[in-house]
Amino acid sequence: MIKVAIVGTNGLAQYIANSLATQTSHQFVILSRRPSPGLTAKGWQVLQVDYSNPADLRFKLAGVDTVVSTISGNPQLAVIDAAAAAHVRRFVPSEFGGPPSLRPQNDLLDNGRRAAILRLHQHEASGMKFTIFTCGILYERFAPGGMAASQIGLNSSISQEGEFLMDFRRRRAQIPYLNASGQPATVCMTSAHDVARFVVAALDLLSWPREFRLRGERMSVRDVVAIAEAIQGRSFEISGFTRTSLQDSITYARAVGDRARETRLHHLIATAENRYDFVNTNLNQLVSVQPERFRDYLIRVWSSAS
C-alpha cells in the first residue's frame, strides 16, 4: 500500500480518486486551492493548499509516494518543486494527451507542459522519477456539454460541446486536411474514466517507463464522424479544411483578436499532423483494464442527453 496525492479537483482528478477508493487499498489525499465539501462528503481527504507557499506544499506532501497532477502552469511547477523537496518517489505530470515527442518547439497549445517536463528532468538527480501517461484525445470532447461537463480542460478553448472536430448534437463536423501521406488523420482516444483506471492500475506495477501509452480506440477522423453518423442514422454536414484554408482561418482569427477560435483551429492542425496518434501501446498489455469502445461511449452518454 502506498500514499498517493492527487493535485486538483477536476473531473479527471475525481475519476482517479474514485478508482483509488473503490479499486485499491492505497491511501490518497486530494490537494485543492479551495475547500471542496462535495469531495469531503464522499469521505475523501481534501487538503487545502497555497501553491505560492512552498513550505505548505512540502508539509502537505510529506509521506506521499506518488503525485498525480491534473493542474498546469506555475501551480504545477510549485508542486513539482515541493514534491522533490518532500522526497516523493515518482510524479505524474498533467499531460494526458498526445505523445510529447510530437509537439513542436513553440507549441501554441503547450499550456506550460514543456516547462513542467524540464523541471521534472532537473529534479531527477534528487531521486524523484516521472512518467507521462499518453492517452490521445479524451472521448469527453464529444460528450453532451463537452469536456466542461466533466470539469476538464476548462481553459483549453475546446472544452465546450462541439468545439473540436465534431458537433454530435447539431450533426456537423470539421475535418482537417489530409496528412503528409495523403490520408485522413488518425487519432487515439480514451475516456477520462478509463484514463483514471489505467493510472490507478499502473500503481501496482513494479517498474514505470518514462512514458506509458494507453488508449481505448485508434481510428481516422473520418471514422470518428462515421460512427456518430451511424448512431444518429443521419449524415452530418461536413466541412473540409485544406492546409491553406485552415491557415487562412487562423490568420483571420488572429487579426480580429479571436484567440479562442485561433486556438481551436490550432487543435485541428495538431490533429491533421497526427500529434494525437501513436501506433503501439505499452500499458494496455500490462494491466487488466478493458477500455470502453468509442461507439459504446457515444451511445451511453447521448442516450440520456436532452
Q: What is the CATH number for 28?
A: 3.40.50.720
pLDDT of the residue at 243 = 87
Residues 244 and 106 occupy one common structural domain: no
Model confidence over 133-146: pLDDT tens digits? 999 999 999 999 99
User: What are the Cα distances from residue 77, in Å, to 52, 114, 168, 180?
Assistant: 10, 11, 37, 36
Question: Are 67 and 99 within one domain?
Answer: yes
Task: Judge whether 211 lies within some domain.
Answer: no
Copy the grid coordinates of residue 260: 479562442
- Number of folded domains that form the chain: 2
pLDDT for the residue numbered 198: 98
- Whole-angstrom distance, CA of residue 73 vs CA of residue 20: 26
The three three-digit cell numbers of residue 78, written as one number: 510549485
Mark whether 156 and 298 lie in a shared domain.
yes
Residue 159 and residue 271 in one domain: yes
Tally the residues of the chain: 306
Q: Which of these three, 130, 157, 182, is where a domain ends? A: 130
43 in any annotated domain: yes
The answer on pLDDT for 179 being more than 90 is no
Residue-level pLDDT at 288: 96
Answer yes or no: is 285 within a domain: no
Q: Does 38 fall in a domain?
A: yes
CATH code at position 224: 3.90.25
| In the predicted structure, residue 112 carries a pLDDT above the cut 90 | no
130, 147, 166 - which closes a domain: 130
Does 150 lie in the same domain as 117?
A: no
Q: What pLDDT does 110 receive?
A: 75
Which uninterrupted H or E stretch holds 297? helix 294-303
Cell numbers at 127, concatenated: 531521486
Give helix then strand counts, H and E, for the chain.
10, 14
pLDDT band at 306 (very low <50, low <70, confident <90, very high): low
Q: Residue 183 pLDDT > 90, yes or no? A: no
Which domain-ending residue is among 105, 130, 155? Answer: 130
Mean pLDDT of the chain: 94
21-39 confidence digits (pLDDT tens): 999 999 999 999 999 999 9
| Predicted pLDDT at 107 | 80
Tell whether 183 and 297 lie within a shared domain: yes
Domain of residue 84 covers 3-130
